Amino acid sequence: MKYALFAFFQKVIAFFAALFMLAGPSAAPTDHPETDLPADSVSAYDPAAADYRLFADASSPAHDISDLLFGAFFEDINFAGDGGLYAEMVSNRSFEFTTLAAGDGLFGYSSVNGASLSLTSDASRGLNVNNPTFVTVRNDAEEPAGIANRGWMEGMAVKAGEPYRFSVYARSADYAGALSVRIAAGNKTVAAAEISSVSADWQKYTVELDCTETANEQVTVQVLIDKGAVDLDMVSLFPVHTYGGRENGLRNDLVDALAAMRPKFLRFPGGCVIEGESKETAYHWKDSVGADENGEPLLWNGVYGDVAARRQGIDLWTDLGASEDPYPSFMSYGLGFYEFFQLCEDIGAAPVPVLTAGLYCQMRGKPAVDMDSDEFRADVQDMLDLIEFANGDAATKWGAVRASMGHPAPFGLKMVAVGNENEGQVYFERYAAFLDALHQAQAERPEIYGGVEMIFSSGASDGLNGGMYLPSYQFAKDYIGDGDVSDFAAATDHHYYQSPEWFLQNADYYDPGNYSRTTDRMTDTVYGGAIPVFLGEYAARSNTLYAALAEAAYMTGLERNGDIVKMASYAPLFASTTARHWAPDLIWFNNAEVRPSVNYEVQKLFSVNTGSALLKSTMIGAKVPQKNLSGRVGVGTWYTEAEFDNLLVVNNTTGETILQDAFSIPNFRWNWQNPNGGNFKISGGVLRHEGTDMNYSDIGDVAYYGTDNGMTNYTYRIDAKKTDGEEGFLIPFAVQDQDNGYFWNLGGWQNTISCLQRIENGVKTGQILKTVSDFTVETGKTYHLKIVVRGTRIKCYADDRLLIDYDTANPAEATAYQVVSQDNNGNVIIKLVNVTEQKKTFAVRLNGFDPTGRECEYTSLTGESMEAEEGVVASGKLDLNDSSFNFTAAPRSVTVIRFN
């Protein structure tokens, strides 16, 4: 009995010791000078010598982590498709470019040795209804002449010793000579072949060209004829060595970079591109496998899906207002949905196709498709047909198309995203219509549609306490009712692009205290629900090491919350270095090389080293002390004319007047600064902003009072009256300089809301920090405004009505971040992010884990400076046989430590 009692107390003592270890000491360790230990090194466990103390418990995992957590998003932007991943080297191969391109249908082509080039667009004479335009090459001279194509953007690139596959459709009723095909670098021929003759009817001809030299400037592919005339279409040049050796293939180097990330899913093809600005510019998936004008499969030359039977599209990202865009973005659809599913299968990624919800691009203010129209019904049917294309057997209509293209077995599609960055009631109604159609199809044909789930958009306003997320979740909650969440959505799609600072300050974005796991806890401070999250697009706005570190810090939070965050993908994926529509991007390329960004290295580190279960962990000593708000005050407008009066700033503690201006002295320049040139002046005893035009900046037309950036703990009062315009007032406060501060937006978003916003480095961060959606500024009415700044807290009143109550403290902001997980083999994975300029030592203690017999390895990423656009990746083994140790991380670094 005594022995049993003794053993019991031993267990109790051990239990509380473990709890103490997890909680760590109550006081943070003192700051240490930078260690003399080398980076990426281990030493004996010594908390007193460490900057941070990290405790983790491997004895009982906290929860599972999604097996789809880190993936990739391919958007057809930045020439990511044609001219990029798609290995076709000829631009405008089908002569279908429009007046948006310089040279129209001859964009990218030129005459060789004086040949005449003329276009004909006639479906009855062209290849087919989807490819009606062809070129007639006429040579009236005695010397060979013809046509040349210069390729994409900076041109073609070829390598010595590499074979290239050339193909063309040709015909001629009376030409009896040969077609001479050559690759030229300037005036020098580096590869040549010959097609001996052409028939009177359209026929495809293919030859292989062996290149003798490496060149990436002034390279063209040319087709020359003797005297006479020949019709040509679908002029094409591919490397023979595409990914998987496929004739209609993808660039090896770009797929290799993508595959090295081991993405668990791949979202495709957009993005705004799927919506378009009109029916003509929307992405139609059936065009990517060959369909007629009625959306039915087009059988051509006895097969479905031939690239010559795919209708060309206009990419949303081309300059739709230009008559001669130097780099027009059209979609040949050579990289279509079949190739997308094939790629996902090749690299082991789950496909996540995105389809229109019957809405043109809301971000551009475009209209919705009428739900009673044939067009909307076709949009819904397109979703059902895509699922059949992916999952149906060869006996189904669209399954037969897939089988004809060379893939008899179904692809096994599980998710379809309906809509991109869509929001509001107009989207909710359409999503419900798509969902009802899917449910009906699942009941009727479970062998095809069973197990397929839709992904629901929550818009692109990321405010944790505002934007469109709350209405989206309320709609979801109402629709689900007492039903199963999986019947509504596989996940809800979040998008945001923010500053590095925002990501550092919001690493706890999806923590349970901020993001609910149940549908009955949605308020203006905690939102969410049981629907998993698909973070479909995010990035820290630059391709610098600082941005990459911020993303890494945020990704520790994504992995820590891998129970509710199902998928996450940086965006966009690929971008041409010569011509781009958007930056930053993950992988840069030109005609000859691939340049992964430093952000890519972070994505790769996390994706390759994702755990399957989270281990409970805590770190002591990394939290950043929160600074009290301080800075100047001001006034401003957004496309609005207004008057301001009775400015008063008093100290909250003493009641002392700090600033006061009744605008009785008509000299604006004495006390005011308007850095972006708004039309402000003092007259008639008020400060006026005249005119409803705006000298556009991200912070509107504003003026700042005084020069005291250190003013803190104050109440700011100002009277404001709108005299004309679209919106209301912007009231700056806690302004450090023209690029950093806060402002209260009254009458924003077309005079509908009151919200709090922040400016960091000249850019809005967080967009909406706090929102009240029922505020409208009336013209001619004087509003008595009051802003109370106390410590890190802000309260804003209009006519004594409290509209804003927000604490700016960022409990997630730290100098270091961590997450600890375990994979299915019991391997412990520690991720450490050091966002300081110094080496930092982590005292790591793993409870319930025996490293004996396990090999310990590390991989780290760092760089020479926070502004560096490249990083250095190092890896090696660590001599560790103890579950407690000190690890010294390099400055500006991300490190993964694995016990295998």
List, by residue number, the catalytic residues. 421
- How far apart CA 556 and CA 568 sit, in angstroms, is 12
DSSP secondary structure string for all residues of 367-408? PBPPTTSHHHHHHHHHHHHHHHHHH--TTSHHHHHHHHTT--
CB contact at 8 A, 100 and 328: yes
Structure token digits, residue 358: 């019957």
Distance of CA 716 to the CA centre of its chain: 39
> 3-state secondary structure string, 730-776?
EEEEEEEECCEEEEEEEEHHHHCEEEEEEEECCEEEEEEEEEECCCC
Amino acid symbol at 356: T
Other Cβ atoms less than 10 A from the Cβ of 140: the count is 11
User: What is each CA distance from 412 to 340, 437, 507, in whole angstroms?
Assistant: 13, 20, 34
DSSP state of 605: H
Provide CB contacts within 8 A for 602, sequence distance 6+: 548, 549, 551, 552, 555, 861, 894
Helix (H) or strand (E) holding 607, with range, is: helix 598-608
CB contact at 8 A, 815 and 837: no
DSSP state of 6: H
- How far apart CA 98 and CA 485 sit, in angstroms, is 46
Phi, psi of 212 (to 5 degrees): -100, -15
CB contact at 8 A, 63 and 819: no
- How far apart CA 614 and CA 819 sit, in angstroms, is 8
Amino acid symbol at 242: T
Structure token digits, residue 154: 């900076």
CA angle 198, 204, 207 (to 5 degrees): 85
Residue with tokens 């052409």: 198
Provide CB contacts within 8 A for 669, sequence distance 6+: none
CB contact at 8 A, 159 and 191: no
Measure CA of the first residue to CA of the last residue in the chain; give whole Å: 42
Burial class (CB in 10 A: 0-12, 13-18, 19+), 289: buried
Helix (H) or strand (E) holding 706, with range, is: none
DSSP state of 621: S
Residue with tokens 């049993």: 4
Beta bridge partners of 830: 820, 897
Structure token digits, residue 778: 């009336």
